[in-house]
Amino acid sequence: MLNRVFFLLFFVNILYANIDLQLPSKAILNEPFKFSIEINGNNIEFPSDINIDGNSPQNLGTSTSTTVLNGKIAKKIKKTYMFFPKSDFTFPSLKFIIDGKEYHTQKKEFILEKPSKTKSDLFDLEIKTSKNDLYIGENFILTILFKRKKDLQIIDLSFNKTDFKDFWFKQLDENETYEVDNYIVQELKFLMIPLKEGDLKLEPLGISAQILDVNSRFSFSNIAKEIKVYSNELSLNVRKLPDNIKLIGDFKIETTIDKDFLKKGEAVSYKVKITGTGNISDIPDLKLDIKNATMYENKPKIETKVSDNDLVGSYEKVFSIIPNESITIPSIKLGFFNKNENRLLELSSKEYKINVENSSNNLTNKNELVKKEDISNTKTTVIVEKNSLFENIVYFILGIVFTLITIIIYFYFINQKRKKEVYNTPLIKKVKKAKSKKELLKVLAIYINIDKNLDELLFKLEITNNVKVIKKEIIKEIIKLKL
């Protein structure tokens, strides 16, 4: 029944003399295109670089096997590659050199196919959104529902690579698994934010399932089959915010200063904090324009989290201002679009007047001066406490460094002692006693196919007359493998 309902990923085997090239029969959007090359021979040269219409496939792994038959060594190398195609492509002709002979594979054309929703009584994959008509920067919830038969024997289950192009997204912790009728349902949720306007698409998602085929006629035991399950596609209408506003949500702004009366050369700390619901990460870097003052500012601290299916957070920035004379810290304005009220709003922060002692525009009386001097003295005490804490941290770090050095020295001497023991294992003694290639092969024959580097050395041993050099390399490899 599975064969009638699902499309299974078959491979096309193409044989060229000693080359076995395995290619998928189809290329599917947002799915890995995996292929493998298996070659038999003693001296094998693979292409140094494989380029598939501008794509450089990733080498997933190499396996090597070696056998000794009638005193001769035979090798088999298999390499597996993968890449994600974005459009139609041509798999190129590849060149190989095997035992001095040149071989070429044939090129093959692939048309990138778009997956369609899987229809089955055994599986179902569906995606749905909390809203389909929204603004740039407005968040929504994407829900993924995967349904499977309760009695289905699944070995492995994995989502294919998810590429939500033109969206910012974050997976939520609200994962659920429950039963409906005779099905098990798994529910995943993502918080999504569109990054541009227009008719945006959420492409079909895919799941790869490894299931047991209990009706297989080709094996006395159950075998696994890989099945691809695809979801529906969604379209979203995303509109541009009015008047080039970048923020959407509901926000509030708060500002504070640590003092409003300064002596000449002192600084005032000015803090801005914006909190609310919406795309708070898109708040522009706030700046102040104050004449007759030197200003320092830190980078804004932005924190976000998901609460009740909404993105909430805060934006915080601190300025240190050293005025040359009495100044006014101006109001900060923040415009945003409130979706609930369907209108533009603008927030304005409080304005602060900062007086500097002996300034020509000083507005503070003598009583205020005495009060502010007391505050200044209090701040100085805090600075002394910070210096004391710094010294404590330095002493603590020095203690850790001294302890680490002691541990490193201890393990160094232990390691030196172990190295002396490693160089006198029974296998190494046998290798050292072997006087010919034949004796050495006899000693190491049982270790073939344990490690590809050791296999390469055995192959070199057969074709070289310099046994001493190869023997030293073999001993080094045995030590690495701890044989």
Domain boundary among 190, 206, 239: 239
pLDDT above 80 for 467: no
Q: Is the pLDDT of residue 161 over 90?
A: no
Distances (CA, A) of 322 to 34, 258, 270, 482: 63, 13, 11, 67
Residue 211 or 450, more confident? 211
Residue 358 belongs to some domain of the structure:
yes
Stretch 282-291: mean pLDDT = 93
pLDDT in tens, 134-151: 999 999 999 999 999 988
Kindly report the backbone phi and psi dihedral angles of residue 363, in degrees, each rounded to the nearest multiple of 5, phi listed first: -115, 10
Q: Which of 214-228, 328-342, 415-429 holds the top average pLDDT?
A: 328-342
List Cβ neighbours of 114 (8 Å cut-off, separation of 6 or more). 28, 29, 203, 204
pLDDT band of 4, cuts 50, 70, 90: very low
Give the model's pLDDT for residue 12: 46
pLDDT grade for 183, boundaries at 50, 70 and 90: very high
Residue 82 lies in a domain: yes
Please state, in angstroms and as integers, the Cα–Cα distance from residue 475 to each residue in 136, 143, 267, 480, following that order. 65, 58, 70, 9
Residue 413 is assigned to a structural domain of this protein: no
What pLDDT digit, counting tens, does each position of 46-101 carry? 998 899 999 999 999 999 888 776 667 778 899 999 999 999 999 999 999 988 89
- Angle of helix 467-481 relative to helix 426-433, nearest 10 degrees? 170
* Residue in the block written with tokens 């009060």: 371
CATH number, position 6: 2.60.40.10
Asked if residue 50 belongs to a domain, the reply is: yes
| 297 & 337 share domain | yes
Q: Bridge partners of 201?
A: 235
Question: How far is it, in rounded angstroms, from Cα 31 to Cα 158?
Answer: 12
Tokens of 3: 């064969």
What is the band of 473 on the pLDDT scale with cuts at 50, 70, 90? confident
pLDDT digits (tens, 9 = 90+) for 302-356: 999 988 888 999 999 999 999 999 999 999 999 999 988 989 999 999 999 999 9
Q: How does residue 133 score in pLDDT terms, banded at 50, 70 and 90?
A: very high
356-403, pLDDT tens digit by residue? 997 666 544 444 444 444 444 433 333 334 445 666 777 778 878 888
DSSP 251: E
Query: In this structure, are 211 and 153 located in the same domain?
Result: yes
Domain boundary residue among 345, 363, 381? 363
> Does residue 125 contact residue 231 with C-beta atoms inside 8 Å?
yes
With a pLDDT cut of 90, the percent of the chain lying above it is 48
Residue 13 has pLDDT above 70, yes or no: no
pTM for this one? 0.57
- Taking the C-alpha atoms of residue 284 and residue 245, their distance in angstroms, rounded to an integer, is 11
C-alpha–C-alpha distance, residues 444 and 475, integer Å: 11
Which is nearest to 278 in space by CA: 306, 300, 301? 306
Coil vs helix vs strand at 188: strand
**Residue 187's domain is classified under what CATH number?**
2.60.40
406 assigned to some structural domain: no
- The verdict on 235 and 130 lying in the same domain is yes
Instruction: Tell me: do 262 and 280 sit in the same domain.
Output: yes
- The reply to whether 151 falls in a domain is yes
Most confident of the following: 29-43, 226-240, 430-444: 226-240
User: In terms of domains, do 349 and 430 share one?
Assistant: no
Q: In this structure, are 96 and 11 located in the same domain?
A: yes
How far apart CA 81 and CA 77 sit, in angstroms, is 13
Under 8 Å between Cβ of 268 and 274: no
Domain end among 113, 148, 174: 113
Using a 10 angstrom Cβ sphere, with 0-12 exposed, 13-18 middle and 19 or more buried, the burial of residue 402 is: exposed
163 pLDDT tier (thresholds 50, 70, 90): confident
Instruction: Assess whether 349 and 429 both reside in one domain.
Output: no
Q: What does each C-alpha distance from 61 to 7, 36, 55 come to in angstroms?
A: 27, 10, 18
Which position has the token pair 């522009």? 284
Determine what percent of the chain is predicted with pLDDT higher than 70.
Answer: 84
Residue 454: which domain range? Answer: 423-481
Beta strands at 234-239 and 133-135: parallel, antiparallel or unpaired: parallel
For residue 256, tell me if it sits in a domain: yes
pLDDT of residue 388: 53
Distance in angstroms (rounded) separating the CA atoms of residues 67 and 78: 15
- The answer to whether position 402 is within a domain reads no
Mean predicted lDDT score pLDDT of the chain: 83
Judged by average pLDDT, the poorest of 172-186, 370-384, 385-399, 442-456 is 370-384
Are 437 and 463 members of one domain? yes
Find, among 54, 40, 41, the residue nearest to 92 by Cα: 54
* CA-to-CA dists, residue 51 to 29, 48, 92, angstroms: 19, 10, 8
Angle 66-69-71 from CA coordinates, rounded to 5°: 105
Total number of domains in the chain: 4
Q: Centre a 10 Å sphere on the Cβ of residue 93 and count the other Cβ atoms it contains.
A: 10
Q: Which residue's structure tokens are 């609930």?
A: 340
**Above 90 in pLDDT, residue 414?**
no
Compare 435 and 221 and report the one with higher pLDDT. Answer: 435
Give per-residue pLDDT as tens, 228-269.
Answer: 899 999 999 999 998 889 999 999 999 999 999 999 999 999
Confidence of residue 157 (pLDDT cuts 50, 70, 90): confident
Residue 203 phi, psi (nearest 5): -65, 155
What pLDDT, on the 0 to 100 scale, is given for residue 212? 82
What is the model's pLDDT at position 372? 45
Q: Do 429 and 340 sit in the same domain of this protein?
A: no
- 168 and 265 together in one domain: no
Residues 139 and 45 in one domain: no
Has residue 458 got a pLDDT over 80?
no
Same domain, 218 and 264: no
pLDDT at 129: 94
Query: What are the strands, taking DSSP E only, across 241-289?
Result: 249-257, 261-262, 268-278
> In degrees, to the nearest 5, what angle opens at C-alpha 285 toward C-alphas 283 and 291?
135
- Please give the pLDDT value at position 362: 57
